């Protein structure tokens, strides 16, 4: 799609070592505003590691990251958030004891000013209303807002985590937010997977760049504009979805199909 514009997110030559494990090896990846990129690969291929480099949770050993053309260096996820980047982690980070509304608005709670201006307390009613409104706009339905997250099913938790990041990233619409999703539908049933598919498409239509890690190939073919495949820490394919098919993608994932980017040394 919008190939001539500056990518919202642009990684080049990213390498990351966990001790002796080379999790990422010279990976390039970009996503334009409004583009949905699926990041695929077998277990341990480096997908979560690459997303965590983009979200500021991990630092690359080598390589550069640009956000809307500007070179950045992330030390923490809040550095990335300050650049409009939100991530839903594979291992969800929700606070069990809090209810849904609190989890969604966590970190940006509306505070009521006391009579002397300094007595503040959380405006819970408003929080619930805001969270409900946001979820309705996004087309996400889940359990009642007041239910503690520890009482939710795995799938409902996944929806809440996704909704939270979706709410935050839509707040970044102006400058072009970036949403990173690590297997967001792994715990979801049929209906909710469709809902997430719609949500992703709607966010992209609003100019958000979405990078989604998934093992669900039908989902990938349904939503992605472009497919990037990692094999043991290396990028082996980067293709427009309409220019490829299921067999090729499976071949790149398993390694039976040669990389598009010929290795310099024989394997
Ligand atoms: N914290 C860590 N310390 C050491 N090695 C790690 C760590 N996290 C991941 N690895 C290793 O890095 C490699 C890439 O892992 P990563 O989690 O990125 O894979 P993935 O593609 O997300 O796999 P999956 O589909 O199973 O989620 C693997 O070999 C893994 O064992
Ligand atoms: Mg992973």
131-143 tens-digit pLDDT = 777 667 666 666 6
**Residue whose CA lies nearest to ligand 1 atom number 29:** 44
**Residue whose CA lies nearest to ligand 1 atom number 31:** 44
pLDDT of residue 153: 72
User: Alpha carbon of 152 to those of 11, 94, 157, 213, 223: distances in Å?
Assistant: 36, 11, 6, 23, 27
Shortest-distance ligand to the CA of residue 25:
1
Shortest-distance ligand to the CA of residue 50:
1
Give the residues across from 36 on adjacent strands: 210
What average pLDDT values come out for the chain (267 residues) when binned by 10 residues?
77 94 96 97 95 93 95 91 86 64 61 49 65 67 67 73 78 81 84 84 91 95 97 97 97 96 63
pLDDT of residue 118: 46
pLDDT of residue 119: 47
Cα 44 to averaged position of ligand 1 atoms, centre (Å): 5
**Residue whose CA lies nearest to ligand 1 atom number 27:** 43
Question: How far apart, in whole angstroms, are the C-alpha atoms of residue 170 and residue 86?
Answer: 10
pLDDT of residue 2: 45
Dihedral sign for Cα atoms in the order 66, 69, 71, 76: negative
Q: Which domains does the chain have, with CATH numbers?
A: 9-254 (3.40.50.300)
Cα 233 to averaged position of ligand 1 atoms, centre (Å): 9
């Amino acid at each position: 799609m919008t190939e001539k514009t500056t990518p919202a997110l642009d990684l080049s030559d990213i390498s990351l070592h966990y001790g002796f494990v080379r999790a990422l090896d010279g990976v390039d990846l970009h996503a334009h505003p409004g583009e949905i990129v699926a990041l695929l690969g077998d277990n341990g291929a480096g997908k979560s590691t690459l997303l965590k480099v983009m979200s500021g949770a991990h630092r690359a050993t080598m390589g550069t990251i640009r956000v809307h053309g500007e070179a950045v260096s992330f030390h923490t996820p809040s550095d990335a958030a300050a650049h409009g980047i939100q991530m839903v982690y594979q291992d969800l980070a929700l606070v069990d004891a809090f209810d849904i509304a609190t989890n969604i608005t966590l970190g940006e709670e509306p505070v009521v000013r006391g009579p002397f201006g300094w007595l503040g307390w959380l405006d819970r009613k408003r929080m619930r209303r805001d969270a409900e409104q946001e979820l309705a706009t996004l087309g996400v339905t889940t359990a009642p807002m007041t239910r503690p997250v520890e009482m939710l099913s795995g799938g409902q938790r996944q929806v809440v985590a996704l909704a939270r990041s979706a709410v935050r990233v839509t707040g970044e619409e102006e400058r072009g937010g970036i949403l990173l999703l690590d297997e967001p539908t792994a715990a979801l049933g049929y209906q909710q997977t469709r809902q997430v598919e719609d949500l992703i498409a709607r966010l992209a239509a609003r100019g958000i760049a979405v990078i989604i890690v998934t093992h669900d190939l039908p989902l990938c073919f349904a939503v992605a504009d472009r497919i990037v495949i990692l094999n043991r820490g290396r990028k082996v394919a980067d293709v427009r979805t309409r220019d490829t098919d299921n067999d090729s993608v499976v071949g790149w994932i398993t390694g039976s199909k040669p990389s598009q980017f010929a290795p310099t040394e024989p394997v």
